[in-house]
């Protein structure tokens, strides 16, 4: 469980970058998925140049460049940051020095300019100015890129207060950032010190369901690609966990008693990390009464 939480939350020093590999997975048309130690990366290639959604840990910048070179995707012209955690934005500096323009939501851009403290995982230092987003999104932005219509949407605070999801509409591929995580990255981490909340994550999942259809490829911030059915199952499980915790609070159960109920069930592995997550949910809903 500790390894899971370190991977999700961007604690770079815990990763073995020397042995890290980046896998390239075709998605649809000119879109590819790159997977390694940090964030999922979507790559769009074509006549307008290469666009990335997120760019991994800084320590993997050279390996990222090598992976992009392997299918002729350098130089990178545009990077969209889904939020500011360093497992999604670490490559900004290196790729910006190569000439990439970085786009992010305004709260993400603001947080990258000064030292931040992630809940549970401590300090993330300010980025150098070259790595800061230069094109800022408030609620939405639409790009026309490589024969696709690309919508950047801020669904409201969820994983952080600066999340963007990126919808390649012509190819029906949705990149969610950490508004959605799947597989071994459950339970879904959110940065409760910086605008994230379980209620925001549920709201985000509901908004995602409004965007997609049965043919959408959904790429989470971490984990394997999914479809609408997978997203619906995820949403239903987190809502059920939320409702169980709220009901227990209404019955007057203490935090320790709710942890002992193990409301997560088989949704995520048992252990101290999951128990800590339940405690955060307990406090969120206890304090909202």
More confident residue, 9 or 78: 78
Residue 124 has pLDDT above 50, yes or no: yes
- 219 bridge partner residues: 175
**What integer best gives the mean pLDDT of the chain?**
93
How does residue 254 score in pLDDT terms, banded at 50, 70 and 90?
very high
pTM of the model: 0.93
Q: How far is CA 122 from the centre of its chain?
A: 18
pLDDT given at position 18: 86
Which has the minimum average pLDDT: 10-19, 67-76, 112-121, 138-147? Answer: 10-19
In a domain, 12, yes or no: yes
How does residue 8 score in pLDDT terms, banded at 50, 70 and 90?
very low
Domain harbouring 147, CATH code: 3.60.15.10
Buried b (16+ CB within 10 A) or exposed e, 104-131: bbebbbbbbeeebebebbeebeebeeeb
What number is the average pLDDT over the span 36-51? 96
In a domain, 18, yes or no: yes
Tokens of 285: 């809903």
In a domain, 272, yes or no: no
Contact by Cβ (8 Å): 191, 234? no
How far apart CA 193 and CA 160 sit, in angstroms, is 8
Domain membership of residue 11 as a residue range = 2-228
pLDDT given at position 214: 98
In a domain, 266, yes or no: no
pLDDT given at position 15: 60
How far apart CA 45 and CA 51 sit, in angstroms, is 7
What number is the average pLDDT over the span 220-249? 98
């Amino acid at each position: 469980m500790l390894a899971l939480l370190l991977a999700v939350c961007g604690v770079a020093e815990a990763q073995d970058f020397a042995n890290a590999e980046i896998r390239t997975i075709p998605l649809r048309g000119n879109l590819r998925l790159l997977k390694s130690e940090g964030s999922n990366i979507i790559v769009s290639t074509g006549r307008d140049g290469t666009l990335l959604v997120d760019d991994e840990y800084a320590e993997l910048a050279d390996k990222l460049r090598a992976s992009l070179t392997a299918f002729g995707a350098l130089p990178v012209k545009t990077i969209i940051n889904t939020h500011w955690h360093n497992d999604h934005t670490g490559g900004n500096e290196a790729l910006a020095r190569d000439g990439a323009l970085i786009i992010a939501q305004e709260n993400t851009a603001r947080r990258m300019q000064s030292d931040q403290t992630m809940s549970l995982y401590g300090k993330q230092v300010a980025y150098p100015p070259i790595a800061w987003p230069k094109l800022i999104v408030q609620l939405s932005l639409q790009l026309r890129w490589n024969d696709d219509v690309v919508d950047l949407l801020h669904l409201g605070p969820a994983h952080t207060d600066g999340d963007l999801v990126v919808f390649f509409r012509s190819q029906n591929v949705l990149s969610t950032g950490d508004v959605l995580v799947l597989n071994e990255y459950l339970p879904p981490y959110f940065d409760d010190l910086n605008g994230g909340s379980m209620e925001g994550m549920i709201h985000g999942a509901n908004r995602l369901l409004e965007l997609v259809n049965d043919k959408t490829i959904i790429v989470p911030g971490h984990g394997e690609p999914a479809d609408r059915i997978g997203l619906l199952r995820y949403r239903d499980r987190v809502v059920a966990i939320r409702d169980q915790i709220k009901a227990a609070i209404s019955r007057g159960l203490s935090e320790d008693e709710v942890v002992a109920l193990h409301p997560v069930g088989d949704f995520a592995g048992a252990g101290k990390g999951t128990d800590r997550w339940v405690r955060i949910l307990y406090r969120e809903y206890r304090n909202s009464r």
